[in-house]
Structure 1
Amino acid sequence: MEKSYDPAASEPAILQRWLASDSYLRHPGKGDCTITIPPPNVTGILHAGHALDDAIQDAIVRQARMRGRSTRWIFGTDHAGIATQTRVDKKLKEEGVSRLELGREKFIEACWDWTREYGGIIQEQIKRMGCSVDLEHERFTMDADYAQAVRRVFVDWYRDGLIYRGRRIVNWCPSCKTAISDDEAEYHAEAGHLWLLRYPLAEPVEGVDHIVVATTRPETMLGDTGIAVSPKDPAKAAFVGATVVLPIVGRKIPIFADYHVDPGFGTGYVKVTPAHDPNDYAMGEAHGLESINIFDERARVVEGYGEFSGLDRDEARERIVAWFSEHGLLERVEDHEHSVMHCYRCDSSLEPWLSEQWFVAVDRLRGPATEAVTSGAVTFHPKRWEQTYLTWMAGVKDWCISRQLWWGHRIPVFYCEDCGWTDALIEDVEICPVCGGRHVHQDENVLDTWFSSQLWTFATQGWPQTPEALEGHHPTTALVTARDIIALWVARMIMSSLYFLGEVPFHDVVIYPTILAADGSRMSKSKGNGVDPMDLIERYGADAMRFNLLSLCTGNQDVRFDAEFDPKTGDFVRSARTEQARAFVTKIWNASRFLLLNMDGYTPGPPVADTAADAWILSRLAKTAAAVTDGIAGYAFGDTARTIHGFVWNEVCDWYIEVTKTRLKDVSSRAQTQRNLIFVLDVSLRLLHPLMPFVTEAIWGSMPASWLDFSRDGQSHERAEQLMDAAWPEPEALSAYIDERSERAFELARSVVAAVRSTRARYRLSPRAALGVRVRTQVPAVAETLREQADFICGIAAVRDLEVSSADGFHKPTGSVTVVEPDFDVHVIVGDLVDLEAERLRLAREIERARADLAGVERTLSNQGFISKAAPEIVSRKRNRARELTETIQGLVDQAHELD
């Protein structure tokens, strides 16, 4: 092994060896672990969420592979209809060509060219992370066989009455010029206004000649076809049945009562524009109102409205408000914050728009999909996301699946212009099967991207062409994904899989936390607070990045990533947590190197608990193996990362290796000590491998065989060439090493040693200075155990003598420092080595100084003027300083108590 580990040099070399082998492919095994990667956009790049998602999946797959299961991690990408078309449109415009000039066929060719040129970026990034995904059988949602699966689903649902065409309100993006589903719309709170407009009555009612409506969108008034009031509002009852003359247009529209109206909103009179608001559309249907589209696909006012025709929404709003003001019909304007829908792709404000679209009727699909979760056939991790799924399923509306794009799966519905025949077909037709006419054309729209990706778990595995390929590999093991697509994707996958296969698509849904910037805001390139996983890998290595991300999986909904950026350049500077993960990688490497340098004459053999330390570490090893095994299998990655980190760093490196150094020099104990150390190291590397694959694989290449490589009768098995192919240390095979009494005994002894060492460190005493120690305890079993461990404690802690006494008649030794433990007190006799009185005075001064500093910081934080005016980062630093001073004071007080 090299003296130091360089991930930049080591990781690419290891990756090439993995790729050259066939370990990423599926092999026969006992049990199955099949996972489909949530397909990223074909032109996408890896972000922090992707990196965490992929690290989780790789940990699951690597552990299952080592446990001898048949594993396959299916990689693929999504054609990303809107995103890809937008990018290709932009590229063509830069070249001076428009999509319409190019034509549909050539534009689609341009999209294919784009995906071929830019589509491999994310694959290379996932590969560099060390993800053991099957790259040889990459799938794409526009592959020919996948496209056939999509058509099969559409046709079957169409013929079963689940897909229909209708004129309905949809969320329309005037920029992308396509419909967007409700679940794709993003809501942004925006500061706006409430305009109160006067609408004249055709005939006065009780001496009143007009009503006042309140609206946040005066530009849509051109399409008003009714005025609604609440039936619970008695003050408006006399006006129900009256008629209003719509200003500007002159259209006579009725006033009616409807329970959709909140009598407390605005004036209680609500303008109803059925073509431009979902609630208004529902009221219009119920009351037989006309639906009038006043906008075209670009959200410009259509012809027929005089000076307002051709204006976009913002221009129309300004001009209409001005018209009302000029004609004395503008009552007043109030400030009003409201929620506005935006396109999830281009961030344009969406327009509720009445248009002809294709829909999936969900009533027959949602029942079985709901039961799949309530019955436990599909389990969410963390469980709280189950309610998010069920709530959405209870209120789900019919799914708008048509998109006004060219790139994507074209809707397979054909029309005959001669006889009016219409049908959905698996294969294209040019001649009408009814009349023989040749004027047949296909629907111009394409399918929503989520329609095709809902088939991901089974269409990627051969359905419907070779359904037998699914046997034993479907349902898949787990879907690892983000919470924001539980409705968009997870629910729809369950619905489609139950319909076509009669089974759920996966057993588990693992929702990973959303990674936020350090200040709690969303990561974004435009904000300059997004961290590129490739930058983290370049600086710290893939293992460190993966381990840090996995340690963030604590069950929380959101987690903060501690990326720091240069305030002048905006460049990424550092991540303290990832640096800590890199330090762990270095610790593993250095400890392994030390052990392997001391393996001269090593011969394999079973581990034996010759000493209390051996029994302790073997018991801790067995428990850690059980915790890590269950942690990965139960998707508790944060707990798993902390468990293995604590065991390897604190117990193996800081304690066990240290206490065995003298035994390695003793000829009589060297051979067995070597076997124990190699066994512990080997098991530890295997447990670490799913989380940190590179450094563990690098060390494995220098490892001799351990007892894990032998059968129970002592016969050698062929040692795996790669750690990723080695056997997992199953908890059952290690359970015999669990020894609670030995663990307790060693932990007690370790506490005494730690107390002596902390005293030496605090008072800067030489490690060779022999100290006397007195232990006081009221627990007989503790006293007995510590007496049994006296030789070990004295030897490792440089203690000249150790006495263990009961509390009765015990007097604190002169010149001693006290460390309090749960079941006993440790009195370390420092004698003349430390001036205890001077130390008391020093601590008192430091406590007084720290309390004065804390009081100053707290005065600043209690100043509301400071809190309101200071930059958030300055306030945050002050609060952190207050916490640091509080902890410092407590530590100093504890030290002072030790001297009492």
Structure 2
Amino acid sequence: MTDTNQRPTNEGHSSAPEHLPTQYTPAEVEETLYERWVAAGYFEAHDKSSKPPFTVVIPPPNVTGSLHLGHAFEHTLIDALTRRKRMQGYEALWQPGMDHAGIATQNVVERELAREGKSRHDLGRDAFVERVWQWKEESGGRILGQMRRLGDGVDWSRQRFTMDEGLSRAVRTMFKRLYEDGLIYRAERIINWCPRCLTAISDIEVEYQDDDGELVSIRYGDGDAAIVVATTRAETMLGDTAVAVHPDDERYRHLVGTEIELPLTGRRIPVVADPHVDPEFGTGAVKVTPAHDPNDFEIGRRHDLPSLAVLDERGVITAHGPFQGLDRFEARSAIVAALRADGRIVAEKRPYVHAVGHCSRCKTTIEPRQSLQWWVKVGPLAKAAGDAVRDGRVTIHPKEMEPRYFGWMDNMHDWCISRQLWWGHRIPIWYGPNGEVVCPGPDEEPPTGPGWRQDEDVLDTWFSSGLWPFSTLGWPDRTASLEKFYPNSVLVTGYDILFFWVARMMMFGLYAMDGVPPFPVVALHGLVRDQFGKKMSKSGGNAVDPLDWMNRYGSDAVRFTLARGANPGVDVPIGEDWVQASRNFCNKIWNATRFALMNGATVQGPLPAPDELTAADRWILSRLNATVAEADAYYEDYQFAKVSDALFHFAWDEVFDWYVELSKTTLAQGGAAATATRRVLGEVLEVMLRLLHPVVPFVTEALWTALTGRESVVVAEWPRDSGFRDAAAEAEIAAVQQLVTEVRRFRAEQGLKPGQRVPARLTLDGTVLIPHQEAIRQLLRLDPEGEDFRVTATLPVAGAVVALDLSGAIDVEAERKRLTKDLRAAEKERDQTSAKLSNEAFLAKAPDQVVGRIRERLATAEQEVTRLTNQLAALPRS
């Protein structure tokens, strides 16, 4: 009825309950179990294996990083997928590794040097790079140990680092191919510049936050030739080379083509018409500073305007005049004061809150800056990446994320790939004494001799991480690993790096691998938020170290909490009380399995035939198979939350709350039925543990090996749905559940304690409930009727009648008084809402949603009146 012939063959079964302590203590088992898994080689993937491949990469964490909740979330999902595929018989490779994290790592080592009173320039480039490698070996990669703590089933034998020799060779190969195909070039463009880190940085390394600034309106020119522009960066006006207006703006049409005086400089600049200008915003006129603003740069190119850089690499004014040598923020105040004195300030707004970019590494305000950099011409690469999704070779999951993907791919600007750092892949370009530019391949000797020098810059880290799906497998060589494991089977990552990482892997994979995309599915998840849905941050005081929760509640509890919130593409709120609830779930699994072992549950031998089983046995086996099918469907659709929820409710609601309780009666009665139930109980728990293992690997390993005596659930086979269903048994147990639930509700409403026993008469004639009479009495704490039994309440449920003697069990008069008061309130609510809905004038004027809410209130009130009336009628008669 379930597929049981699918587990390892070592049969040293032992079901002695003393093998399981009375309480589950994660700290005592997790590390030991993980190291045993690694030592056994369970996570290693083999090139020569005949099994079908399943490949997934870990988004390489920074070598400077430590495990945060975002990592824990993503790793849990990838690990769950990989563990299940391994159990399904795939040669599963979860590729681990780290990113060299250029700016972040260089900053860490520079701070170390600063504490020694040195700078990287004191060491020189080669010695500094050597110092970084030393730091990486001694202090970097702390996150790898934390991944083990979480339970990541990665193939540690294949661990890669983006600066490894093999991956560096891949980087140089890709650069040369792109360069020779005319897809890499050098040019001056506007980039994000950090005046502290002294390098260009990527868009993802810019953090925007609302800053208190000032908005000043400045009058350029005089009289009829005057134009007012507004700016938050008055210091850049020294580099203005035009004022722009919209071509259709009648207010300024007479000035287009003329020149006006730029205040404080003595220069005259043209007024140009450009469609980029929004005539409805501000005065409809904007200052144009091509060297210090990306939009202005494009306007400048369209109108052939000069670019005047007035800030150096540290944000200091370079323009000749009284402001030369001032820091940009000092210059801002000084320039506004000078303009004010000259009568040029028309309006000032302080504070003016606006979004300002900051370097994510050092928090310095970013400066848009025109700079000579290396660029990737992304047009043809981005088109290929967009086409791969449009023609179905790659699926974005959930599909709702596709427009965002196309929005980026179809409008992608050329990519700045150079960084002014020392740590990273140095750009493989050599310049000769006579203007030569040479790009040698990784297997070629670079030019040497007088006057030859290599480019000083290094590549953006996204360049090397964009090669990750195939560089980690040995590309550019056609290795056995590349043949076996490329393309990857799926990419699981956050929607926040869809553009920054996913897009680059798509572009590079299609380009380097002959049009074969790096993965057929991109499964996007959301971001972890706090329990109120707010972004987690240290400054906000709501950041959580997942290791703290793991220490308190166990890794399984953290994993299950995260997986249970993982709806595709949707952010995940998480709070500590949810982790506590998951810990309770793990404890429940432990206690149920311990109960089963103590009562002789077994996985030995075939399952008894259906006609040898109780209805409860057949019901739970039917539900088990349905749950296997449900879990499979959800996994194939990357619905991690639904998988986790389905398994939770099956385990807790059906196995623990009902089947275990129903089995107690059968086990107590002994005989052949008890023997069959022991086998079914063992089967259900064994399969359930395999189903739960990908998400909660540690507790399931400890319990599965104790229950089966076999090697490890890691290498057990994934359960299969045998197709067994028993609708009759499901209907029969549903009737039991209905009766027990209704009587429990009535007991609670009458104020009876859960364990309080009361006499009862059960009339089950003509129902499917007759075989369950003893179980019903046990579940409801109902004693047989005695000589002085007196019916004080009668409950007709599921075709049966439960007659209760509550005399002496409750304060009848106090309960009648309480229920009567509640009934009067419900009747009042019913009458008031009914009157409103009978009022034609009200219905004609009230909005539909208001009328809808009142209808809902009326329905609720009517239900309450019925419920309370029935409760009053059921009270014992005086």
TM-score using structure 2 length = 0.87
- Please state if 1:764 is matched with 2:752: yes
Contact 1:430/1:440 (8 A) holds in 2: no
- Equivalence for 2:199: 178
Q: Give distance in 1, aligned partners of 2:756 and 2:193.
A: 74
1:560 is paired with a residue whose SS is strand
Q: RMSD over aligned Cα, in angstroms?
A: 2.9
Paired letter, 1:70: E
Contact 1:752/1:826 (8 A) holds in 2: no
- TM-superposition CA deviations, 1:345-403 (whole Å, max 9, x none): 33322211111011111111112211221223222232222221111111111111111
Q: Give distance in 2, aligned partners of 1:828 and 1:366.
A: 74
2:584 is paired with a residue whose SS is helix
**Between the two proteins, what is the percent identity of the paired residues?**
43
1:721 is paired with a residue whose SS is coil
2:291 is paired with a residue whose SS is helix
2:79 is paired with a residue whose SS is helix
- Please state if 1:323 is matched with 2:338: yes
Q: Give distance in 1, aligned partners of 2:91 and 2:275.
A: 58
Q: Give distance in 2, aligned partners of 1:486 and 1:370.
A: 13
- Equivalence for 1:311: 326
- Equivalence for 2:633: 630
Shift of 1:745: 2.1
1:169-318 equivalences in 2 (<5 Å): 169-200=190-221, 208=224, 210-302=226-318, 304-318=319-333
Contact 1:607/1:679 (8 A) holds in 2: no
- TM-superposition CA deviations, 1:618-653 (whole Å, max 9, x none): 000001111122222322111111111111112111
Contact 1:415/1:423 (8 A) holds in 2: no
1:338 is paired with a residue whose SS is strand
Q: Give distance in 2, aligned partners of 1:14 and 1:290.
A: 67
How many residues are aligned here?
810
Contact 1:815/1:836 (8 A) holds in 2: no
Q: Which residue among 673, 676, 685 is the counterpart of 1:672?
A: 676
Distance change >3 Å, CA 661–CA 239, structure 1 → 2: same
Q: Give distance in 1, aligned partners of 2:861 and 2:589.
A: 31
Q: Which residue among 48, 54, 72 is the counterpart of 2:69?
A: 48
Give the unaligned 5+ runs of structure 2.
Answer: 1-19, 829-859, 874-878
- Equivalence for 1:724: 714
Paired letter, 2:663: T
Q: Give distance in 2, aligned partners of 1:421 and 1:834.
A: 95
- Please state if 1:753 is matched with 2:740: yes
Q: Give distance in 2, aligned partners of 1:99 and 1:64.
A: 47
- Equivalence for 1:878: none
Shift of 1:801: 9.6
- Please state if 1:898 is matched with 2:871: yes
* More displaced stretch, 679-688 vs 6-15: 6-15
Distance change >3 Å, CA 848–CA 292, structure 1 → 2: farther
Contact 1:184/1:488 (8 A) holds in 2: no
Q: Give distance in 1, aligned partners of 2:775 and 2:530.
A: 48
Q: Which residue among 536, 548, 553 is the counterpart of 1:535?
A: 548
1:171 is paired with a residue whose SS is strand
- Please state if 1:490 is matched with 2:502: yes
Distance change >3 Å, CA 59–CA 851, structure 1 → 2: farther
Paired letter, 1:723: V
Paired letter, 1:622: N
Contact 1:410/1:445 (8 A) holds in 2: yes
* More displaced stretch, 465-474 vs 235-244: 465-474
Shift of 1:250: 1.1
Paired letter, 2:467: L
1:471 is paired with a residue whose SS is helix
- Equivalence for 1:515: 528
- Please state if 1:692 is matched with 2:696: yes
Shift of 1:824: 7.3
- TM-superposition CA deviations, 1:826-848 (whole Å, max 9, x none): 76544535454531213455799
2:187 is paired with a residue whose SS is strand
Q: Give distance in 1, aligned partners of 2:416 and 2:486.
A: 28
Q: Give distance in 2, aligned partners of 1:814 and 1:593.
A: 40
Distance change >3 Å, CA 828–CA 631, structure 1 → 2: farther
* More displaced stretch, 58-67 vs 791-800: 791-800
Distance change >3 Å, CA 577–CA 354, structure 1 → 2: same
* More displaced stretch, 280-289 vs 22-31: 22-31
Contact 1:158/1:424 (8 A) holds in 2: no
Paired letter, 1:673: T
1:311 is paired with a residue whose SS is coil
Shift of 1:249: 1.6
* More displaced stretch, 72-81 vs 650-659: 650-659
Q: Give distance in 2, aligned partners of 1:787 and 1:667.
A: 19
1:395-544 equivalences in 2 (<5 Å): 395-427=411-443, 429=445, 431=447, 437-501=449-513, 502-544=515-557
Q: Give distance in 1, aligned partners of 2:623 and 2:459.
A: 55
Q: Give distance in 1, aligned partners of 2:475 and 2:801.
A: 69
Q: Give distance in 2, aligned partners of 1:477 and 1:898.
A: 59
- Please state if 1:38 is matched with 2:27: no
1:307 is paired with a residue whose SS is coil
Contact 2:561/2:574 (8 A) holds in 1: no
Q: Give distance in 1, aligned partners of 2:804 and 2:107.
A: 76
Contact 1:300/1:310 (8 A) holds in 2: yes
TM-score using structure 1 length = 0.85
Distance change >3 Å, CA 368–CA 671, structure 1 → 2: same
2:221 is paired with a residue whose SS is strand
Q: Which residue among 172, 178, 186 is the counterpart of 1:151?
A: 172
Contact 1:239/1:255 (8 A) holds in 2: yes
Shift of 1:157: 0.3
Shift of 1:759: 3.1
- Equivalence for 2:100: 79
* More displaced stretch, 491-500 vs 231-240: 231-240
Q: Give distance in 1, aligned partners of 2:452 and 2:628.
A: 66
Q: Give distance in 1, aligned partners of 2:292 and 2:762.
A: 83
Higher relative contact order (CA 8 A, sep 6+): 2
1:30 is paired with a residue whose SS is coil
Contact 1:697/1:724 (8 A) holds in 2: yes
Q: Give distance in 2, aligned partners of 1:45 and 1:888.
A: 54
Contact 2:823/2:868 (8 A) holds in 1: no
Q: Give distance in 2, aligned partners of 1:358 and 1:484.
A: 25
- TM-superposition CA deviations, 1:530-581 (whole Å, max 9, x none): 111111111001111111111111346222221xxxxxxxxxxxx1111111
Distance change >3 Å, CA 656–CA 446, structure 1 → 2: same
Distance change >3 Å, CA 533–CA 607, structure 1 → 2: farther
- Please state if 1:816 is matched with 2:823: no
Paired letter, 1:402: S
Q: Give distance in 2, aligned partners of 1:645 and 1:33.
A: 27
Q: Give distance in 2, aligned partners of 1:849 and 1:123.
A: 61
Contact 2:601/2:679 (8 A) holds in 1: no
- TM-superposition CA deviations, 1:106-152 (whole Å, max 9, x none): 11111111111222310100001111111122100000010000010
Distance change >3 Å, CA 385–CA 671, structure 1 → 2: same
Paired letter, 2:113: L
1:392 is paired with a residue whose SS is helix
Q: Which residue among 189, 194, 216 is the counterpart of 1:168?
A: 189
Contact 1:231/1:258 (8 A) holds in 2: yes
Q: Give distance in 1, aligned partners of 2:862 and 2:296.
A: 63
Shift of 1:768: 4.6
Distance change >3 Å, CA 317–CA 843, structure 1 → 2: same
2:562 is paired with a residue whose SS is helix
1:253 is paired with a residue whose SS is strand
- Equivalence for 2:5: none
- TM-superposition CA deviations, 1:215-239 (whole Å, max 9, x none): 2221100001111111111121111
Q: Which residue among 795, 816, 833 is the counterpart of 1:840?
A: 816
- Please state if 1:744 is matched with 2:744: no
Paired letter, 1:383: K
- Equivalence for 2:85: 64
Q: Give distance in 2, aligned partners of 1:276 and 1:658.
A: 73
- TM-superposition CA deviations, 1:5-25 (whole Å, max 9, x none): 111111122122112211010
